[in-house]
Structure formats: C-alpha cells, structure tokens
A and B are shown apart, each in its own frame.
Chain A
Amino acid sequence: MVTSIVLSGTAMGCIYALIAVTYNVMFSASRVFSFTAGTLGMLGGVLGSLFITRMGLPVAAGFLLALAGGALLGIVTEIVAVRPVLKSLDQHLYVLSTLALALMVQQFTAIEWSTEPLPFPRLLDIARTEFDQQFWLPMLACAAVIVGIELLYRHTMIGHAFLAIAEDNYAARALGLPERRLRLTSFALAGSIGALAGFAGGEMLLAFFANAPMLTFYGFVPVALGGMGNNRGAVVGGLLLGLFQQSANFLVGGIFASVAVFTVFIIVLLARPNGLVGSALQRRV
C-alpha cells in the first residue's frame, strides 16, 4: 500500500507541479495569474481522448495536436483575457477576464464533449506493472519540462529575453525586446505545458470537464506554497501536495483529504502569504 501511495502521490504531485509551472510561465511574462491554467490541464486530457480514442489518430499525432490545442488556448488567453486588461493591473480585472474565459472553455467542453468522465487511452502498448506508465508518464513529463525550462531560460537567447521581461517589463521594452511577441510566446508555451500535464496524467484524471476547476485549485497550491514564479518551489510544493493528498486519501478517505488539504493550504498561506520560500515587500505609498 505504501508503494501505491507513493507512486500515485508522486504522479499526482507531478501533474500539480506542471499546472503550477503553467501558472508561473504565464505569470513571469505578464504579472498575471490566469484561471485558464487548470482548464489547459483538463483540455490536454479531453483532446488526447478526442484525437486518439474517438478519432483513432496515432498516439504521437494525438499528443502533438493536444499540445497544439493547449498552445492555442494559451494564445487566446493572452489576446482575449490578458492583453486588454494589462494597462490596469491594479484593478485586478485579469482575475475576472481569465475566469470568464476559463468558464467558457469548461462549459463548452461539458456540453460538446460530455458531462461524464470518459476514458483516456493507454499511450504505450506495454503490459501493466506496479510502476505503471500512468504513474511514470507524469513524472517523466514533469522532469522533462523542468529541465527543458531551465535550459531554455539559462542557455538560450529567447530564454534570456523571457527572464528579462519577467524581471522588468519596461526596461526590457526599452532595450528593444519585442515584449508583446515574447509574452504571446510565453503563453503558448504555458498552454502546451498545461496540456501536457493533462495528457500525461490522462489515465489517472480521465477526460473530464470538471478537472478544470480541480486543477485550477490544486495546481495553484504549489504556486502559493513555493512562491510566485518559482518553478523549483512549484515542484517541491506539487510533490508535497500530491503525497499528502494521496496518503490522506488512503488513510482517512477522499472527502476529509480534501478538507485537510484545504485547511493546511489556508493555514500555511495565512502564516506565510508569500509562500514558504518567497518574500516580497511592496511599496504602497
């Protein structure tokens, strides 16, 4: 039992961490948290099931199309819900505009796809083992994304540009960086990371529209615990959350696990509003 708690906990933790990275990549580019982060995860699962199970496409094609779908929603998020309200960040209109977009996608999926969870295909044609692909695929995806993002940010020109706009938007623009295009690219990247989370975790989460609010909440917990924009914190926070949740699930049952996670989340946040590792001093006057 301990093995299965650890396996499923780590796998769920990796999915949460990926959604947290989705939040972070969007946040770094725009200073905005978007409610569409969990929607992207949901979409990864639904698109995967749509392309592979329903339309019968090969796994690789379904995978690429699902990621492309995520990237597209990322781009739409930036154009429709983020760009128009960036001027007035202090009014927090982005909370409402991204919420509206997330709800639209979620409801559309519920009506046009299904209100019931539908099965997600087994991606690799190999026999079931204890350390099954449904567990190691999310782990692999998470590791790949974290390493990939580190390499991108540290070693490529475009990565440096991403970091520059994350650090100081105005200065970056003054340097002549194409800030808008970079933001759009970041959102596309975040979109495919979110979709990857749902795709890799498809077998655990199924293709279900209600995964959207679930992932929006649980994916934000690592962001809050690890500190905004901090991807390593997000991974640690995600793994802690996944393991805690799964152990509570097995030991005391699902509902009380949810209550426990929520309670711990609130208490930690109230004690450390900037996360366990973050610190931020705001200038107000």
Chain B
Amino acid sequence: MDQEATPPVTDLYAARADAPAVPSAFSAALPYLALLVVGLLFPLFGGGYWGVIATRACVYWVLVSGLNLVVGFAGQIAIGWGALLTLGAYTTSVLAAGNVLPALPPYLALAIAAVVGAVFGLIVGLPALRLRTFYFAITTLGFANIVTQVALAWQSVTGGGVGVPGPVFPEPFSSQWGFYYFCFALAAICTWMTANIVKSRFGRALTAIRDAEVAAEASGIAKPRLLGTVFLFAGAVAAIAGGLFASLQSYITPDAFTLDLSVLFFIAILIGGRSSILGPLLGTILLTVLPEFSAPLVAWSTFLYAVLLLVIVLAIPGGIAELLDFRNRRPLKSNRAILPRPDLVARLLDAAPETLTLTLDQVALSFGGVRAIDGLDLEIRPGQVHGLIGPNGSGKTTTLNVISGYYAPQRGAVRLNGEALPALAQAARAHMRITRTFPTPRIVGSASVLENVMIGGTIDGRGTFVESLLSLPRHRRDEQTLRDTAMLALTAVGLERLAPVRADRLQHAELRFIEIARGLMLRPKFLLLDEPAAGLSAEEITRLATLLMAIARAGTGVLLVEHHPDLIFDICHQVTVLNLGKRLAAGTPAEIRSHREVVDAYLGG
C-alpha cells in the first residue's frame, strides 16, 4: 500500500490546485474595509441626528462584539447581557460625577467600569458551566431584572428614578463628531480583537465547545477556563459600551435600560448568524437603524425584532452570514477519494517510542443492575494495535469511555505506567497524550475541515488569550505551526484537498478520517478508536488499515473497538474478546481465530 502512487511531499500544497478556492485575506477583509471607509467618511454625508444613530450603532457593537463570542461562538444563550451595559453606564457615570468618591477623570472611570464589568461578566456567565441551556438563559434574564431594580432603589448612588448625568469626555472627544470617532475607533478595535480571537485556537475551541463538546474534551480543552476568560472579556467591553452609552445619552435613568435593549443585542447576533463577525455586525447596524425609518416603528421595534428572530430561527438558522457565504455553495467533486499518505504519519508523531503502558486493572462498572464491565484487565502498549471485539452490549464502548475518563469505574483503575488516572477528568486525558474518536464523528460543522483538525492541537499553543486578542508574535507563530501541522495531518489521512471546505458538507467516511487527523494533532501516545470503520467502504477500510498500522509503527498505542473482524485480524497485534463485560479471550489474532468459545459466541462457525 505504501508504494501507491502519491505525489512527493514537496508537492503537497501544489496538489490542491483543483481544490476549492481558499479565500484570500484581502477578499475576506473587503467588507470590513468598506465599512471602515464608510464609517470614517460618515460625517461628510450624515446629518446631526444620523450622527447620533451612527454613534449608537458603534456603542452597541462594542458590546455585541464581545457578546458575540459568548452567544455566536460559544453558543451560550446569555439573553440578559444588557445588564452589563447598565452596570457599566452607572459605574462610569457615578464615578465621573463624583456621587460617592471624588470625581474621577472620565477615562479612568471608564477603565474602572471595564474591570467591574469583567468581574460581573464572570459572575453572570459562570453558571453556564453547571446549568442547562434554558436554566442559564433564565438566570441571565433574572440578573438583568435585578440590576435595573437596584439602579432604581439605590438612590444615594444612582440617583434612583431621577438618574445621574453621563460622563463627558474631554476635547477632542466632546463634540458630536469627536465622540463619534472615539466610539467608532473603539468599535473598530473590538472588531479587530474579536476577529483575532476567532481565528485563534481560542475561537476554534469555543465553537468546539458549542458544537462538539465531547470532541473539545478529547482535545484537552478546559471549558471552565476558556469560557471564564471569554466572559471576562465580554463583560469588560459591555461595561465600556455602557460608559459610552451614558455619555451619548448625556443623562441616564433606569428607564433607559429596558429588557428590550438586551433583546436587541441578543437578536442582532442571531440574525447575523453563528460563527460570524460580519453577520452580527451587519445585524447590529440593521437593528439600530431600522426603527429610525418611521416613527411607528419605534414603538413596534421590539415586536419586529422578535418576529425577525422567529423567522431567522425557523427559516434561516444560519442568519445573514449563511446568506453571504457564497464560497460554500459551490458543489464539491462527487467522486473524490480518500488517499492517505501513511508515510507522513511518522513526521506527525513523536519518534521515540517509550516503554509506556496503559492498563486496566480489574475494572468493574454497572449501570443500575446491569454489569457493563465486570473485572476487566487490559494492557495497551505503544507501537501496537490492540483490538477490542465482542457482541453488542459486551462492554466495548463502556471500556473505552472508562479509559477516556467519562465513566468512573466502581472498582479497579485505569493506569498509565502503573499510576492511576483520575476518573471523570476527560479533558485531562489529552494532557497525558491520550485521545479518542467517537462512534458518530463529532465535528464542528460550521468550521472548515482544516480548522476542525487544528482543534486537536489546541493544548500545544503557547500564547495566551491576550496575545491572541492583540495578534502578538507568539500567537502568530502558534497559528503558523498549528496550520502547518494540521495540513500535514490532513495530507496524512488523505483529505488535504478539502481543507478549506465547511466540514458539514463532507461525507460520513471523510468525517471519520478528519477525527483521526484531529487525534494525530495531539501527538498521542495512545489513540482510542471507537468503530472507525463503521460506514466505510471496503476500499476505505483497507486504507484505514494502512493508516492505523503506520500510526502504530510510529510508536503510538492504538485501541481499536470494531465490528469488522477482517480489519481486527489484519492489523491487530493483540486482541481482547469481551462477552457480557468479561474477557472471553485474549491473545494474538491467530490464537483468537482458533479459540473455540470465541468462534462459537461471536465469529460464527
């Protein structure tokens, strides 16, 4: 198989000549540049009131850009985010007006508001880690309700129903257009920063948490930390938007912060579309401008937003972004084949095989009265393919789930070189270079194939969130390395031509190979595969076999849960046969093939 005619490595990228076009950085940036020019020139043709509307759109976008990471990318339904606008508006105004402390300069007040907003963003957001979707949505609504009530009641500080004057920023930002440019600049910076995040490993990890949480865990993505960081950021920019909002209003009362505002921010993102920055940006502009066209629309605006939301959810769940995504509508070649390059696998994996063993030691686990596994011993060695077979319900997948940390065994332990691995610590497995695939491929449909594979290398990034936010050199180096490695992994599994394509357009077999490529990104010492051949053609199974053998040859221990006896017997060094949660037999494929009980129970006569 290795001798199959494949292009030399140097032609790797040239081979993509007939592949779907990769968008150039320029064409991707074009809409933003257009908006930038329009925004900069706006004072030339916009009259006084339109200036207020434009400033308001910029202020809203500062908030929405951060919330977009929470809602559009991480998929957390945070409806009441307007509460942080309220908080930022009052913090800035109160500090700048000197109600409580001596009056502070407006910039300092705004900075303090950002810190307060970040802290509250974290407080409001963190329940998302524990609560189901609807519960979380309700808690954010409850929070929004409370903030407004407190603003109304805490008269000594907020002025109660009478309100408090908003901050005035000094020259050159005190005039209408000066303040507009101030807000516009902040909006542009927020766009740039969130675009950097979205293109970084943090942004990809967010979408992985949203669409394929178990895959994110298998790649070692720490959800609490990542979401926490994003909530801090989204809270900070929301509070800054609040400070700007207060200045724009020039006087704020609790009436200014209705639930309608929260709803506007939230709906702007959904109308814009998930996993997009341009979409929500256009959505924000649209929703800000729409009610201005006629007076009756102002009263009905929230009703209209709600109608829009319903239409979007029911008719175009992808939002504006999907309507604008022309590139992914071009048909793909239908007769494409997966042509792995097993010779490249060794370049991806760490060369030196270690004397590491992954063992199961008398592991037992029952669900209710059913003994799923019952005192199982198993040893997986580097450089070997270990097959796990057995009839349905014999405990194969349960075993794999115990190894990868999803289930806590009631007895026994999983050990890496004799040391017990903690149970229910799925994401920690990746840091020990143990990863897995899933019986149904878990991928991020809206991300490109290449991005999906890059998710696998998340934990090897060195730069911090802030470095990615500002696109500092370490972030750019991380991205370059991840991209190159992912391209190599994709080439190794034979899918490099599909790198720029949206993953949900691919066929089932291709998704299976993407999962393997994603697993290889982790340079795994142990790779656990749950029925990788299910749904593959005979030809594809042969190619999978060569690929798996190459992975084992490069020093990785492979655990293969499978139903195809041929694949198992062709490539496994060791085979364990399970029946009713117990080991029925173990040995080399030859031994298993002649094992009487196995033949009777499973292989058939």
Determine the residue in chain B with the shortest Cβ distance to A80. Answer: B310
Q: Contact: A270 with B309, CB < 8 Å?
A: no
- B77: A residues at CB distance < 8 A: 92, 95-96
Interface contact A93-B313, CB-CB below 8 Å = yes
Q: Is the CB of A100 within 8 A of B306?
A: yes
Closest to A261 in B: B142
Q: Does A265 contact B (CB under 8 A)?
A: yes
Q: Are B310 and A285 in contact (CB under 8 A)?
A: no
Q: Which residues 49-70 in A have Cβ within 8 Å of B in the complex?
A: none
**Measured between C-beta atoms, what is the minimum distance from A210 to chain B in Å?**
9
Q: Tell me whether A96 and B270 are in contact (CB under 8 A).
A: yes
Is the Cβ of A273 less than 8 Å from the Cβ of B259?
no
Residues of B within 8 A of A85 (CB): 313-314
A151 at the interface (CB under 8 A from B): no
Q: Are A99 and B127 in contact (CB under 8 A)?
A: no
With A85-B313, A97-B314, A107-B306 as given contacts, are A217 and B141 in contact (CB-CB < 8 Å)? yes
User: For the complex, is B305 an interface residue (Cβ under 8 Å from A)?
Assistant: yes
CB under 8 Å from chain A, chain B span 296-325: 299-300, 302-303, 305-307, 309-310, 313-314, 317
Q: Encode contact with A along B198-217: 1 for CB under 8 Å, 0 otherwise.
A: 00000000000000011000
Nearest residue (CB) in A for B210 is: A91
B307 surroundings in chain A (CB, below 8 A) = 100, 104
| Contact partner, A270, options B127, B142, B154, Cβ 8 Å | B127
Q: Is B263 within 8 A of A103, CB to CB?
A: yes
State the Cβ distance, B443 to closest chain A Cβ, in Å: 14
Q: Are B314 and A84 in contact, with the CB atoms below 8 A?
A: yes
Q: Is the CB of B138 within 8 A of A220?
A: yes
Least CB distance, A245 to chain B, in whole angstroms: 13
Contact in complex: B143, A262 (CB < 8 Å): yes
A194 at the interface (CB under 8 A from B): no
Q: Is the CB of A97 within 8 A of B313?
A: yes
Taking a contact as CB atoms under 8 Å apart, the answer to whether B259 and A213 are in contact is: yes
Q: What's the count of A-B pairs with C-beta under 8 Å?
A: 108
Is B150 part of the contact surface with A, judged by Cβ < 8 Å? yes
Is A250 part of the binding interface, using a Cβ–Cβ cutoff of 8 Å? no
- Which B residue sits closest to A259, measured CB to CB? B146
The segment from B2-10, B95-103, B129-137, B232-240 that touches chain A is B129-137
- Nearest CB of A to B102, in Å: 27
The answer, yes or no, to whether B328 is at the interface (CB within 8 Å) is no
- Judge whether B138 and A99 touch: CB under 8 Å: no
Q: Are B130 and A270 neighbours in the complex by a CB distance under 8 Å? A: yes
For chain A residues 253-285, which have a beta carbon within 8 Å of chain B? 253-255, 258-259, 262, 265-266, 269-270, 273, 284-285
Cβ-defined contact, A269 with B310, below 8 A? no
With A103-B305, A104-B306, A107-B303 already in contact, the answer to whether A259 and B150 are too (CB < 8 A) is yes
Give Cα A113–Cα B263 distance, bound, in whole angstroms: 21
Contact B303 A95 (CB under 8 A): no
Q: Give every chain A residue within 8 A of B154 (Cβ-Cβ).
A: 255
- B153 on interface, CB distance cutoff 8 Å: yes
**Quick check: A107 and B127 within 8 Å, CB to CB?**
no
Interface members, chain A 68-124 (any B CB < 8 Å): 80-81, 84-85, 91-93, 95-97, 99-101, 103-104, 107-108, 111
CB neighbours (8 Å) of B542 from chain A are none
Give a binary string over B101-142; 1 marks a CB under 8 Å from any A CB, 0 the rest: 000000000000000000000000001001111110111011
**CB-based contact B310/A81 at 8 Å:** yes
For the complex, what is the distance from the CA of A96 to the CA of B314, rounded to whole Å? 10
Output the residue of B134, B300, B313, B314 with the most chain A CB within 10 A. Answer: B134
User: Which chain A residue has the least Cβ–Cβ distance from B306?
Assistant: A103
A contact residues around B145 at 8 Å (CB):
213-214, 217, 258
> Is A216 part of the contact surface with B, judged by Cβ < 8 Å?
yes
With CB as the reference atom, state the residue of chain B lying closest to A104.
B306
- CB atoms of B141 and A213 under 8 A apart: yes
Contact assessment for A97 and B310 in the assembled complex, using a CB-CB cutoff below 8 Å: yes
Report A157 CB to chain B, min CB distance, Å.
30
B569 CB within 8 Å of chain A: no
A95 touches B131 (CB 8 A): no
Which listed residue (B134, B139, B310) contacts A33, Cβ 8 A? B134
Min Cβ gap A114→B in Å is 13
A92→B306 contact, CB < 8 A: no
Bound Cα distance from A220 to B131, whole angstroms: 14
Does residue A224 face the partner (Cβ distance < 8 Å to B)? yes
Please, how many angstroms separate the alpha-carbon atoms of A99 and B303 in the complex? 12
Using known A-B contacts A255-B149, A259-B146, A262-B146, determine if residue A100 contacts B313 with beta carbons closer than 8 Å: yes
Can you list 9 A-B contacts with CB-CB less than 8 angstroms, sorted by A residue number?
A: A33-B134, A92-B77, A97-B314, A216-B141, A217-B141, A254-B149, A258-B146, A265-B142, A273-B132
14 new A-B contacts at CB < 8 Å, known A95-B134, A255-B153: A92-B133, A96-B77, A100-B313, A101-B310, A104-B307, A104-B310, A214-B145, A217-B142, A224-B138, A253-B153, A259-B150, A269-B127, A270-B130, A273-B130
Chain A: residues with CB nearer than 8 A to chain B? 33, 80-81, 84-85, 91-93, 95-97, 99-101, 103-104, 107-108, 111, 213-214, 216-217, 220, 224, 253-255, 258-259, 262, 265-266, 269-270, 273, 284-285
Binding site for A on B (CB under 8 A): 77, 79, 127, 130-135, 137-139, 141-143, 145-146, 149-150, 152-154, 213-214, 259, 263, 270, 299-300, 302-303, 305-307, 309-310, 313-314, 317, 397, 401, 406, 438
